[in-house]
Amino acid sequence: MATKAKSAFVCNDCGADYNKWQGQCTECHAWNTLSEIRLGSPTRGGKTLRSGFAGAVDSAVKTLADIALDEVPRISTGTGELDLVLGGGLVPGSCVLLGGEPGAGKSTVLLQTLCKLAENHSALYVTGEESPQQIAMRANRLGLPTNKLEVMAETSVETVCAIAEQKRPKILVVDSIQVMHMEEVASAPGSVSQVRESAAMLVRFAKQSGTVLILVGHVTKDGSLAGPKVLEHMIDCSLMLEGSSDNHFRTLRSHKNRFGAVNELGVFAMTDKGLREVPNPSAIFLQRAEEISSGSVVMIIWEGTRPLLVELQALVDDSHLGNPRRVTVGLDQNRLSMLLAVLHRHGGISVGDQDVFVNVVGGVKVLETSADLALILAVISSFRDKTLPQDLVVFGEVGLAGEIRPVANGQERLREAAKHGFTRAIVPAGNVPKQPIKGMTVIGVRKVTEALEAASC
């Protein structure tokens, strides 16, 4: 008697799975998003293979001391910013997922990188959305070497793995995972089951063969990577290429990295010859006007393993609405409301009847709390129409009691500011360096009121 194939029902939006079909997903509360997938163990020659995402299962139990600690040599991509985000380069046998909005430059940066790597390493570019002619036309337009990179147009995962088994490339790029499909999975390409099973087979091949696998992923309307949540657990590194169509700068951020630091930021400029790395992004984000207006201040944030100087602008204006607006670009809107309450309670300044707009210049997204003090000073500068000194930099976390808390890597931030010609800094008292920094006056503050006095607000 034939064994009935097991199946499960998976939500296409959030990836939650159920034993039977139901109209609404109880996790994300979406309707009619459950699709059926077939479960089963991979077989070869009638025998069931015990293997997982990390390759074949090794039943031998070892202690940590028995495991060899030979460092795996990384493969440099030839681009300093990309190597920085990856943690030093590509690791053999790893899986990298690259996502981004349409037109951000995902295929461009991969084509540039693969053409450089193909000079010294075997590389295979699998395209499922574009034809090989389109890839060749883009490479010629960008002036890239085309005599070494191998290209294949295919959407079948079984065929891709079979060709890769013959070619044995060092780097394998699949563009994109949403168009790949497996014959055994009874669903359309791009569905949760197809994406999950296709990625699992590709990752399994990469782990077993030591091939660097780079997957291109689509994004949803809210800007997050599309596909099931299990896809984020299978991969080793998740990169997101961000940038708007009206800005020629692109930022590459690492959201997950098993071989390096998380939240690293790489900056690229889109030109007619492709993406060009920006080794000193602070110089770009600090392109200020000759005449500095009120509400502008330079802050020092920490991105991954390096400091970054960006300009913060605030605009405070009379509100004609019953509920004044609080608008932020690049910052958390809830944190702005909290800091305005702290400013009222502990600074004696109320902007409850004012519209407050805050913008981080250059499209940078600030995720840490070191921007609190700079935000407060920018708001006060705009509210009182007083210009802050042009050579002033600010950083520090503000607590609900009005205290200024120190942040990590304070001395490295100050040294970076000194390199760019800043001579004054308002920082938490706990971040004042023991050894003075040449050419810079550092003012340590403990309360919001002290910071307002130091900035002459």
The whole-angstrom separation of Cα 90 and Cα 268 is 19
- DSSP string of 158-199? HHHHHHHHHH--SEEEEE-GGG-B-TTS-S-TTSHHHHHHHH
What does the block give as tokens for 228? 């099931």
Residue 107 labelled as part of a binding site: yes
What does the block give as tokens for 21? 């079909």
Mark residue 93 as left, alpha or beta (left: phi above 0; alpha: psi -120 to 50; beta: remaining).
left
Residue 100 labelled as part of a binding site: yes
Residue 101 labelled as part of a binding site: yes
> From the DSSP assignment, how many helices (H) and strands (E) are in the chain?
11, 25
Residue 303 labelled as part of a binding site: no
Under 8 Å between Cβ of 407 and 396:
yes
User: Could you tell me which residues are beta bridge partners of residue 35?
Assistant: 10
Q: What sign results for the dihedral spanned by CA atoms 12, 14, 16, 21? A: negative
The whole-angstrom separation of Cα 189 and Cα 277 is 34
The whole-angstrom separation of Cα 292 and Cα 286 is 12
Residue set of the binding site for ATP: 100-107
Annotated binding site: 100-107
